[in-house]
């Protein structure tokens, strides 16, 4: 009898171990070969509807895929659904409900390239024989056109699940109802200033199994989403350890995710946040690709069902305690007295008129005791004192570092036409400009210097920290601004 129990236990163990080993091997191979499937035509975040149309038309001509026009945006841009697979279980993935959240849109076309390629036949057969995948890559093309969250009506589509005021929301609801998908992947971007709770790690990826009522009850539908999220978290930990957060599950009765969960689809919300040194989110795009494909594999083979839902609550909560730059313990002299401050600075993006590119215009977000906050870059300024900037007039700027080493941040000079920024770290001003009453306050554009032992050592220009002992081309110095146009 004991021998029989032992054999049964061993058999059950093997059932768990072999799929897990195959899954780990697939995930590793997906990560290592990603460059073979990355879609090169959409390599920056500010993609538009026109950028993805050639890709959609190419898929339309491919017999592996079924491509349907399923609706139009307010401004008349087509919404397409791309489907592949022969399985009985429908999986629905949609992206860019918010026009300025395109990371997963890019990853979807990488996934479609993978599904079309000859490699990984065994794994793809395992997925596509059990599942039918449906991708809506850009739900809000009007918002994408001007790189803004809301649609042309000025509403947040993700708060339109009840009234269905927008054609985009109506399309999403109609597709949800017609597909009656077992799983839905609601793909977003979040601010890079989110971190995994009580850590200095950015929440590079955040997840949520949306609640379907105020009580946050857990039924089988929601539990399945939790289990797949735990699985995806384990994958991300291999490549961005500690950089996963868990979104608040407070019920929002107007939101599509919450309602789709209520309507019977296991809803997985994925938010792409920040990653150090990755302003265009291309590493995060890769993590979306690897984790979503791996999740589809575990859904197809149902191995996720063995994951205890208790593991979901162990994922750190999303917090918002990150700055781009944090200067700690700096001495600030005011009215004859010296104070010790921390400064938290945001390097905020400002879109150019064509919404294809941007420049930085930074602000002091907070100051005082910021010991509970973190940053992508932290500078301990103990022993350093803030020095107000100088203004200089020159005919031509030939040596920006020379001006900075002399404490000059503002320069009266000829300014380029039709521009709001310059590529070097100085602020260009009009002849009549005067710097009066220098002070550090939340909301200002930070331009000042740091000195130690009587010598200028660093500049902070438009919120970027510059080491005056190093060449500019060896540092990330952001951009300067044109002031007083």
In the block, tokens 């789709």 appear at: 260
Whether the predicted pLDDT of 55 surpasses 50: yes
Superfamily of domain 2-319: Zn peptidases (3.40.630.10)
Of the pLDDT bands very low, low, confident and very high (cuts 50, 70, 90), residue 418 is confident
Task: Give the integer Cα–Cα distance in Å for 286 and 103.
Answer: 9
Instruction: Confirm whether 2-319 and 322-482 share one CATH topology.
Output: no
Task: Give the integer Cα–Cα distance in Å for 42 and 168.
Answer: 23
Of the pLDDT bands very low, low, confident and very high (cuts 50, 70, 90), residue 369 is very high
Domain boundaries, the chain: 2-319, 322-482
The per-residue pLDDT for range 119-161, each reduced to its tens digit, is: 999 999 999 999 999 999 999 999 999 999 999 999 999 999 9
Per 3-state DSSP, the chain is made up of helix, strand and coil in percentages (nearest 5) of 30, 30, 40
The per-residue pLDDT for range 392-405, each reduced to its tens digit, is: 999 999 999 999 99
Task: Give the integer Cα–Cα distance in Å for 388 and 160.
Answer: 49
Whether the predicted pLDDT of 52 surpasses 70: yes
Whole-number mean pLDDT of the chain? 94
Q: Report the SS3 class of residue 90.
A: strand
Per-residue confidence (pLDDT) for residue 3, from 0 to 100: 52
Of the pLDDT bands very low, low, confident and very high (cuts 50, 70, 90), residue 423 is very high
CATH 2.30.40.10 fits 322-482, yes or no: yes
């Amino acid at each position: 009898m004991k021998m029989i129990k032992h054999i049964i236990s061993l058999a059950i163990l093997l059932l768990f171990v072999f799929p897990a080993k195959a899954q780990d091997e697939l995930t590793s191979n997906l990560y290592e070969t990603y460059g073979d499937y990355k879609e090169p035509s959409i390599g920056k975040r500010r993609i538009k509807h026109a950028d993805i149309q050639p890709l959609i038309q190419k898929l339309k001509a491919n017999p592996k895929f079924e491509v349907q026009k399923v609706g139009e945006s307010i401004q008349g841009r087509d919404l397409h659904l791309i489907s592949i697979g022969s399985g009985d279980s429908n999986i629905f993935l949609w992206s860019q409900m918010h026009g300025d959240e395109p990371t997963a849109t890019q990853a979807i076309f990488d996934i479609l390239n993978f599904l079309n390629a000859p490699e990984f036949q065994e794994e793809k057969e395992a997925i596509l024989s059990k599942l039918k995948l449906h991708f809506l890559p850009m739900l809000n093309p009007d918002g994408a056109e001007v790189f803004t969250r809301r649609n042309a009506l000025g509403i947040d589509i993700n708060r339109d699940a009840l009234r269905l005021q927008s054609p985009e929301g109506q399309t999403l609801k109609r597709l949800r109802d017609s597909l009656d998908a077992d799983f839905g992947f609601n793909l977003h971007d979040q601010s890079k200033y989110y971190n995994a709770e009580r850590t200095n790690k950015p929440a590079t990826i955040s997840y949520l199994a949306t609640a379907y009522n105020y009580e946050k009850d857990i039924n089988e539908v929601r539990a399945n989403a939790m289990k797949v999220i735990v699985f995806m978290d384990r994958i991300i930990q291999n490549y961005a350890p500690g950089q996963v957060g868990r979104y608040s599950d407070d019920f929002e009765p107007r939101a599509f995710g919450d309602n789709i969960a209520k309507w019977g689809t296991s809803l997985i919300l994925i938010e792409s946040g920040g990653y150090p040194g990755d302003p265009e989110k291309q590493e995060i795009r890769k993590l979306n690709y690897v984790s979503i494909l791996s999740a589809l594999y575990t859904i197809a083979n149902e191995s996720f069902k063995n994951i205890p839902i208790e593991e979901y609550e162990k994922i750190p909560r999303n917090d918002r305690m990150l700055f781009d730059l944090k200067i700690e313990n700096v001495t600030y002299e005011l009215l004859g007295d010296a104070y010790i401050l921390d400064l938290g600075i945001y390097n905020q993006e400002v879109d150019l008129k064509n919404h294809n590119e941007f420049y930085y215009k930074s602000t002091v977000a907070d100051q005082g005791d910021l010991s509970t906050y973190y940053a992508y870059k932290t500078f301990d300024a103990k022993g350093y004192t803030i020095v107000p900037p100088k203004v200089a007039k020159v005919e031509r700027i030939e040596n920006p570092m020379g001006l900075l080493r002399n404490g000059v941040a503002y320069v009266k000079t000829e300014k380029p036409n039709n521009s709001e920024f310059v590529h070097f770290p100085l602020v260009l001003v009009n002849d009549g400009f005067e710097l009066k009453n220098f002070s550090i306050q939340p909301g200002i554009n930070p331009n000042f210097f740091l000195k130690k032992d009587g010598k200028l050592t660093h500049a902070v220009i438009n919120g970027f920290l510059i080491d005056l002992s190093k060449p500019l081309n060896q540092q990330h110095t952001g951009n300067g601004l044109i002031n007083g146009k």
